[in-house]
Amino acid sequence: MSRALRILVAVVVLFGGVMSLSAAENAQLARGTAITDPDLLRKLDQDDQLTISRLLWPERNANFPLTTDLLFAWLPQLKDIPPAIDAEFDRYIAQQKVAFPSETIGVGEGVDVQLFDRAVLKSPNTRFVLAGIVNRMDRAYVSEESCGEMRLIYRLTRFDAGPDGAKTAARLPMTFNLVLKARDARQTDASGNPVSCAEVARRWLDNGDWQGLIGGRFYPHDAMLDRIETNIQISIAPKSALHDFRSDYLLKVFKYNATTKTFEESTLENQIDRDRILADNDLRRDFKSWLLAPENLREFDRGTVLIPEKFLAKAAVVPTPTGLDASPLQPEFGMMQREGKGEGKDNPVFTDDDVVGALKQAAARGDLQNIRSVAGFQRRLNDVTCAGCHQTRGIGGFHFPGVDWLADKPSNSTIVPASPHFVGDQVRRRDILTAFAAGKRPDFSRGFASRPQTRGSAELAGTEYQDGWGAHCSLQDAGSGTRDASFTSWSCATGLTCQAAAASRRIGMCFIKTR
């Protein structure tokens, strides 16, 4: 086993959690909200029904998978993606050399920081394999017209010839998500009327499989294409005298431009550009004013806020592990009082008084569901970002690696398709689908990424998602003996106790009681 693989396995073990629900129970939780069945995904991929080339190259009737050397060369829609990724790698390498000048960085064994080998994106031996289909109608608050989103998730895989000539497959640490609008504006029902959000939701809930949802001959037209999201494990580095074990993940987003018919580099939703905001007094002032405005603070509390582009970044590097305490590895670090050093610490974007005053007014209006303290505000400022969400209860830097249907005996990490955060959120997502199907206005709000909302308490009770072994829980504050108001309800099941997983005084994990 290579050092890279050993390190990746360590990350999976550390962050994957103990999956206390059986595979069947996980599948039932995801019915209507995700397609994770490996046999169905194998059929959809191997029959070329949902290969990237078929979906993005319908005029050529491309009913065959393209290896990565041809995918980016033959599909003009994707031409901007490789150079944008290359530019991020160059920036990352330059930053690493400045931060750790004594460490070597490069591809392969024998270096201190081992980089993802970009050569695999130009290889005739690799391609993107369908790993899952995820219903995100819970994101219809972003665009009600499109009824939310549908995500086709692909995992980069290398195919090598074995000694007997047979092909062997090895999954590589990169996902490629093709995000489509959930509703096809050109589709009509049996009466010739445009398909409604209620009808889309009913199809997912009633069928739960691809054929029942759209049919076997599906080509997304331009109006359905929304964006491509990429997630790459950009580097791994073992513990050294300079730092703890680190595995960094690069997140990028490319929005579809129907005019140019290309996917163009874009900002990441809610990924605050911390360094740029801290360095610009005008931007700092504007961001504080915008976020603390009553209407925006309300949506921020509910997890449905949409931060304006001028505050956002076009890339995010997600370090893991991060732990539960505030640290420079977290996306908001330095924006809150007493965090960071230098200018960020002496002149934070948000002081305690700023937050306490805004929350007091919001509470008087009845606007708050989740954030009830400065610590809660800080936690939401992290988990509302792409990077902060991926750092929370993920499998390394991924939330949906998918079951490895190519392997005869997949590893423990890939028997379960998704992270504890993903699985724990399925009840909320299904409730939203059910409301849509009944013609009701859904409740799109969500709790903190660390813990599911109470709306799923019955189905998730006793699991690591809520109150069970490994669940996040509320610690008593060592200074005051009281619980932080934002996390008071985060308890442990009978027989378990909340214990600090690090130096945190607020958030711990549920473990078996010890004497």
User: pLDDT tens across 168-214, in order?
Assistant: 899 999 999 999 999 877 777 777 788 899 999 998 998 655 555 55
Residue 121 tokens read as 């994106």
For residue 345, the model assigns a pLDDT of 56
Residue 347 tokens read as 């002149």
Number of residues assigned to the chain:
515
DSSP string covering 8-39? HHHHHHHHH----S-HHHHHHHTTTTEE--HH
- On the question of pLDDT at 432 being above 80, the answer is yes
| 50-54, 116-120, 208-212, 286-290: least confidently modelled range | 208-212
Three-class secondary structure assignment of 426-447: HHHHHHHHHHHHCCCCCCCCCC
Question: Helix or strand or coil: residue 121?
Answer: helix
188-198 burial code (b ≥16 CB/10 A, e <16)? eeeeeeebebb
Q: Please, which pLDDT band fits residue 10 given cuts at 50, 70 and 90?
A: very low
For residue 515, the model assigns a pLDDT of 53
Instruction: Write the burial class of residue 257 (CB in 10 Å: 0-12 exposed, 13-18 middle, 19+ buried).
Output: middle
117-128 burial code (b ≥16 CB/10 A, e <16)? eeebbebeebbb
For residue 166, the model assigns a pLDDT of 76
Nearest to 155 by CA among 134, 128, 120: 128
Nearest to 453 by CA among 485, 494, 418, 421: 421
Which of 155-169, 374-388, 411-425 is the most confident on average? 374-388
For residue 15, the model assigns a pLDDT of 36
Contact of 228 with 177, CB cutoff 8 Å: yes
Which of 23-37, 94-108, 444-458 is the most confident on average? 94-108
Omega within 30 of 0 (cis) for the link into 321: yes
Q: Please, which pLDDT band fits residue 413 given cuts at 50, 70 and 90?
A: low
Contact of 121 with 82, CB cutoff 8 Å: yes
For residue 8, the model assigns a pLDDT of 30
- On the question of pLDDT at 246 being above 70, the answer is yes
Percent of the chain with pLDDT over 90: 59
Contact of 429 with 453, CB cutoff 8 Å: no
For residue 6, the model assigns a pLDDT of 34
Which of 60-64, 243-247, 336-340 is the most confident on average? 243-247
Nearest to 7 by CA among 128, 170, 173: 173
Q: Please, which pLDDT band fits residue 354 given cuts at 50, 70 and 90?
A: very high
126-181 pLDDT, tens digit each: 999 999 999 999 999 999 999 999 999 999 999 998 777 778 899 999 999 999 99
403-429 burial code (b ≥16 CB/10 A, e <16)? bbbbeeeeeebbebbbbbbbbbbbbbb
When computed from its CA atoms, the radius of gyration of the chain, rounded to whole angstroms, is 23
CA dist., res. 192 & res. 183, Å (int)? 15
For residue 513, the model assigns a pLDDT of 76
For residue 243, the model assigns a pLDDT of 78
For residue 407, the model assigns a pLDDT of 81
Instruction: Write the burial class of residue 31 (CB in 10 Å: 0-12 exposed, 13-18 middle, 19+ buried).
Output: middle
CA dist., res. 478 & res. 482, Å (int)? 8
Average pLDDT rounded to a whole number, residues 63-77:
90
Instruction: Write the burial class of residue 103 (CB in 10 Å: 0-12 exposed, 13-18 middle, 19+ buried).
Output: middle
Q: Answer with the residue of higher pLDDT: 449 or 325.
A: 449
Q: Answer with the residue of higher pLDDT: 59 or 293.
A: 293
Average pLDDT rounded to a whole number, residues 237-261:
91
Q: Answer with the residue of higher pLDDT: 22 or 35.
A: 35
Residue 148 tokens read as 């939310």
CA dist., res. 405 & res. 410, Å (int)? 8
61: left (phi over 0), alpha (psi -120 to 50) or beta: left
Residue 451 tokens read as 């813990």
Question: Helix or strand or coil: residue 201?
Answer: helix
DSSP element (H, E) containing 457: helix 457-460
Contact of 330 with 322, CB cutoff 8 Å: yes
For residue 315, the model assigns a pLDDT of 98
Mean pLDDT of the chain: 86
| 6-10, 126-130, 379-383, 439-443: least confidently modelled range | 6-10
CA dist., res. 414 & res. 211, Å (int)? 25
139-173 burial code (b ≥16 CB/10 A, e <16)? bbbeeeebbbbbbbbbbbbebeeeeeeeeeeebbb
Average pLDDT rounded to a whole number, residues 426-434:
94
Q: Please, which pLDDT band fits residue 65 given cuts at 50, 70 and 90?
A: confident
| DSSP secondary structure letter of residue 272 | B
CA dist., res. 202 & res. 436, Å (int)? 8
Q: Please, which pLDDT band fits residue 403 given cuts at 50, 70 and 90?
A: confident
288-313 pLDDT, tens digit each: 999 999 999 999 999 999 999 999 99
- On the question of pLDDT at 22 being above 80, the answer is no
For residue 506, the model assigns a pLDDT of 82
Average pLDDT rounded to a whole number, residues 443-465:
86
For residue 178, the model assigns a pLDDT of 97
